[in-house]
Amino acid sequence: MRDTSCDFCADALNILVLQGGGALGAYQIGVFEALSEAGIQPDWVVGTSVGAINGALIAGNPDGERLQALEKFWYGIAQPATSMGAAFHPWERSIARTSAMVFGIPGFFRPRPLWTVPLWQSFFGEPPSLYDTEPLGDTLNRLVDFERLDARHPENVRLSVGAVNIGSGALRYFDSSHEALDHRHILASGALPPSFPPVWIDGEAYWDGGLYSNTPVSWVLAEHPHGETVVNCYVIDLWSSDGKVPETLQEAQLREKDIQYSSRAGEHLNLLEENQTLRMGIENLANHLPESLRKMPEIQEILSMTQKPSINVVRLLAAARPGETSLKDIDFSRATIDARRGSGYDDMHEVLSRCSQFAPLPHNIGVIVRNFTRDVDGELISLSTPEASPVHGENEGDLPTQAVGS
């Protein structure tokens, strides 16, 4: 599963990090499609909520059938299932949102009878939720080969999905490199209250991992392998962290949700940069120590903490679409799914087209973070800091980056 299509991606461990966001997750279909066309298949997928669903569809199918599995899921839940053309798109989006709230989404979730919903007191033993996600469990069992979600077998793609333990409030990652996963772990990662019910695993109840952290970069930082030379990490954000001050209640609801679920990835990547700076500093300091000191057990223990790979990070932030409302995450219309998929494909394809300008990391650089999004004019722009850009070649200055080294 090693890619050789460009200098940036060659001979590396490829990690795909997928944010949660309901219907916004259609963007990730296009991202995966562009990566696949470039010959880049993930060795490890980390997802939250809908990112966990997409991650299971990718990791739970063989190379060559993953995109098809994503298409079967997304076009199977599309409501309306077809589009009548651009002139009808606003109407179709409205119908999709209303239909999802009133009737649910076939193959995904269905409404509970109102008399069984425990608003103030539970009489029927029903879980505290408006909808039932049993249809999603059936869909996952049909589209995902869960025997593949056991990365203790080296030929399988590793999958990690985040969920919140309701009792302790702690975030837990169910990781196929530690345990075999089944549909319950995926449902737990997407069990957003009060819409969806808690999911019980080994006697503990779990809710959507996005309640704690909607972008699971922290797990990559805690778990990334020590034996690899280079790690390429593709972080896909679905929510717009930037936006204008709202002037209406509808705009306020939209902005609130964007802020609530937009990424903590920036904070986590800052932590990564700080850790890598410290690592490189320790290595440089050790080079000036006498050999007798370097062999001391205490020094050897410290040096062993620095044995981590160099990391290339591409963070792609999906741009907000015109006319979005606070209900954009339940717009499962075919037209919107197609539009989001197309945006994801175009964005990642353009990022990868610049790969030839990404030189290998120098020995004194531990991590480079590249952030991209579309501006209001539709141009793909870099959000990274030009001043931090290292000189890697004649063209590197054209692509601002954040570089951390010694």
Give me the catalytic one of 43, 175, 182, 208: 208
How many domains is the chain built from? 1
Asked if residue 262 belongs to a domain, the reply is yes
Mean pLDDT for all residues in the chain = 84
What is the reported pTM? 0.86
Judge whether 208 counts as a catalytic residue. yes
- pLDDT for res 8: 52
CATH of the domain at 364: 3.40.1090
- How does DSSP assign 122-148, residue by residue? -SS---S-SEE-HHHHHHHHHH--GGG
Asked if residue 200 belongs to a domain, the reply is yes
Asked if residue 162 belongs to a domain, the reply is yes
124-133, 242-251, 392-401: range with lowest mean pLDDT: 392-401
Which of the four pLDDT bands, split at 50, 70 and 90, describes residue 402? very low
**Residue written as token pair 């209640």:** 249
Q: Give burial (CB, 10 Å; 0-12/13-18/19+) of 339.
A: buried
d(CA 55, CA 360) in angstroms, rounded, equals 28
- pLDDT for res 6: 45
Asked if residue 396 belongs to a domain, the reply is no
d(CA 158, CA 149) in angstroms, rounded, equals 7
Asked if residue 399 belongs to a domain, the reply is no
Asked if residue 388 belongs to a domain, the reply is no
CB 93 within 8 A of CB 338: no
Residue span of the structural domain in which 163 resides: 13-266+303-382
Asked if residue 397 belongs to a domain, the reply is no
Which of the four pLDDT bands, split at 50, 70 and 90, describes residue 368? confident
- Give the SS3 label for residue 200: strand
Region class of 85: left (phi > 0), else alpha (psi between -120 and 50), else beta: left
Instruction: Find the length of the chain.
Output: 406
Asked if residue 360 belongs to a domain, the reply is yes
Mean pLDDT for 168-190 is 96
Distances (CA, A) of 282 to 229, 278, 293, 323: 18, 6, 14, 50
| Residue of 271 and 337 predicted with greater confidence | 337
| Residue of 315 and 302 predicted with greater confidence | 315
- pLDDT for res 240: 81
3-7, 247-251, 319-323: range with lowest mean pLDDT: 3-7
Give me the catalytic one of 3, 43, 49, 213: 49
Checking if the pLDDT of 267 tops 80, the result is no
Judge whether 382 counts as a catalytic residue. no
Q: Dump strand ranges (E) for 118-224.
A: 131-132, 158-165, 171-175, 199-201, 204-208
Question: What is the sign, positive or negative, of the torsion defined by CA atoms of 160, 162, 163, 164?
Answer: positive
Checking if the pLDDT of 1 tops 70, the result is no
Mean pLDDT for 197-211 is 96
CB 157 within 8 A of CB 64: no
